[in-house]
Structure 1
Amino acid sequence: MLKYIRSHALVKVFLWVIIIAFVATIFYSWGAGGQVEGANKTIATVNGMKIQVNEFNRAYGNILNFYRDQFHDQFSDEMAAKLNLKENALEALIQNRLILAEAEKMNLLVSNQELVSSISKRPEFQKDSQFSNVLYQNYLNFNRITPREFEESQRKDILRKKLEEVIKASTQISESEIQEAYKKENEKIKFKFIGFSRDFFKPTGLPSDQDLQKYFEAHKNEFEVPEQIQVQYVKLVPAMVMDKIEIYEEDIKDYYNTNEAKFFIKKQYQASHILIKSDAQLPFGEDLSDEEKEKLLDEADAGARGKAEEILKQIRDGADFGEMAKKYSDDPGSGANGGSLGQFSKGMMVPEFEEALDRLSPGELGSPVQTVFGFHIIRLDQVNEERIKPLVEV
């Protein structure tokens, strides 16, 4: 392993290659930013590995919902932009690709036994010092992730730790570096000195007037006094003259025309939903093939979709939407409010959700829509198209 790293230059160079590739990929693929359309479109390529829109949307959706849970009504488009959430989601995906690529080059692997051992030892899954499958499933449900997604993330975490240990173990310090460090800590200097008392340089007498005049002539610059002025002034505060300021109509129009972008309002939705999560219970620790796991996940999706369609049928037959949301929705925040999501701007929800909203008219119910969180029964309550506030309103 040490031979491998040395063949690719020093460890510092190895780490800088990762950093440079990481930064270059962000700027090359991200560009001007903004909402990316097309589920199969590639937005970044890392060492030949593609990051597609649907994967980015899932990561970005998870970050958005985390901040919504933290800040509630205080969370806004402006806050999301200031926090650079889209860039953070993409950077996290790129970083994972880079680390996993390096681990693959080094033939680092994580066995199923290692994965099971790591998960079963996590304290949040322990009950009476034993692994609890109930706690494990509750954790997955609470965080809205499937067992497969969680286990894959744990596998990647273990790979990252293995890569870190390899780099640490492969870092060697040369003899010259050791000597240099020792010198800095222990090097001493020998020197000789002579001490004088304070009175040694004390003058024997006072200088004469001639001596003082001579010194003054030779050092006039030392006695220069900066130029000084004397002024009188009156201090005014805005409150004293505010009622005397006249703002003309032309000034208002000029300001409005110059700053029109400040008065742009994004498209606003007011909607309600009922969320039915697709909770696949994959047997923990069993070595299932990808086909078997996919089959279990598909069966869970079909069950959730069927439940959502049955609820939708009851609503269309006369059941109250709000009461059905309180009873069946797996979104505790909106469910308690009859499914209401309040008002939000375009770009705040995951793309599949907003695409469904754009197909509805106010007051209309849509068919179940699947997102990373499950199946949604969506009702569009009101929509305000994007616009620029007119001058009268401003």
Structure 2
Amino acid sequence: MYYYPFQIYGEKEFFPMLDLMRKKKETFLIKAIFIVIVLSFIGTIFLVWGKGEEGFSRSSGYAAKVDRTVISYESYQNSYQRLRDIYQQVFGPGLTPEVEKELNLRQQAIDRLIDNVLIQKAAKGLGVTVSKDEVAAAIAVMPAFQQNGAFDYALYQQTLRTNRITANDFEESQKRDLLISKARTAVMNKTTISDDELLKQYHRENDKIELSYVSFSAAELAAGVKPTDADLEDHLKKNAERFKTPEKIALTWLLLPHATRTEGIALADDEVESFYRKNLDRYLGKDNNAIPLEQIRDRVKTDALRQKAAKQLYEKAADTLFQNIKSGDIALVASKLGARTEQTALFTAAAPPAALAGEATLIKKAFELKQGELGGPVETAKGVYIFKVSEKKAAELPPLAQVRGTVEQQVRLAKAEELARQKAAEAQKALASGDGGLKLSSTPAFGYNGQGTIPGIGSSKPMLEKVFDLTTAVPAPTEPFLVGNRWYAARLKQRIAAPADGFASRKEEIKARLLPVRQETALRDWLKELRAKAKIEINPALTSATP
């Protein structure tokens, strides 16, 4: 028996792979991966399925609970790892933690197990059962248990023993899998496409249409919009965060420059050797190997002395600040350190004064303090800073007079956009009953396309879908369409129907394309309905885990 991948794997797991596989469907890699998907189910299946009425083993804690069924953490881990292995073969080194996060593999893994539990419970209601003969037949065709193209019972027993699985457990797991597969197939097989639907799709894909239309844009209507002061005040209030002036601070600060002289600082030989070992990447030769210490001892000693001097400077600054921090007196701190203070005017975080340009860490920490607080020490490439927030001005909403021009422009545009939509809606109603005396433009004849391109209008898949459903009986949509920055009201001007005799030769091909998509949708909807009726609890630690 051949298992279709979407029957073995949950649709949330398999459908994301479909897009990738459809793009690469002719490659040998993808054909091989379909085989891997099937074969990977063998050998680890027992680890995914547990025992008993409660459903899954509890030995490693729970991953999820579906009504009375418990899915173990071990089951989830195996599901996740197997899923990741499949994607690894598709992406190779491209399966980075970022890509894995985007694919949401952990959520896919737990969703797969939840869906399988739900399907197994729902199978009885579908009248789906699995006989012993079906289980035996399924196992007999598994390549893992065949020798020379035939089922080998001895190999079967040996393989199960190697994986520490009893025949009874494996056959029970196969029965569950077959039950899930048959239930999925039963749901999908209920999906049909009528001849009328196929004919409609044939005409959608082969007819050509012409449209009459009228359009409206906010830019063209904005000049005629006259907002009131009440409109402006209301907009300013509702969008306060966009208009607030940024928070500002003023600093008093001192800088202890890094020492350029290291006289009087002692350095033992073991300190030099320790510094060398910890900073080997600084001392690589042209061959990318570390230069022996004895060849560059003076250089290493100089670097180590500078680091020790910087450390002593930082510790001195920290001790002095700590001893005087309650006073809030930065002048006192400066005098004890033999430094002079500097002052700034009020500034925002985005526009620090020139003297502090580039000191992002200092600026960030300064904005975290309250007015009057001392901060630091902060070490940068220039040295060690200690600072005080001498003034702090909170963000505030300016009066309307200060921002009237900007507010008025935004309100006028917003009202113009609504006016354009209203005019398009009125025009659409008029086109539904006639032309309403509107001055209309026309498109040339055009066909259905995947890009949603409509000549003279632009690209809009929603609009293209709607207008290709229009007929002489229903010649206009009920609502206008926003395409780009314009609203369009449209009406069918002419439909040039494809030859009716062409349908017979295309019917089966159209059905072959539409039916799998319709079946996938039916399967999704069915699973969504099962989930809505079930009580599902997922351990939040699972999906929050990093790859």
So what's the TM-score if we normalise by structure 1?
0.31
So what's the TM-score if we normalise by structure 2?
0.23
Q: Relative contact order: is structure 1 or structure 2 higher (C-alpha 8 Å, sep ≥ 6)? A: 2
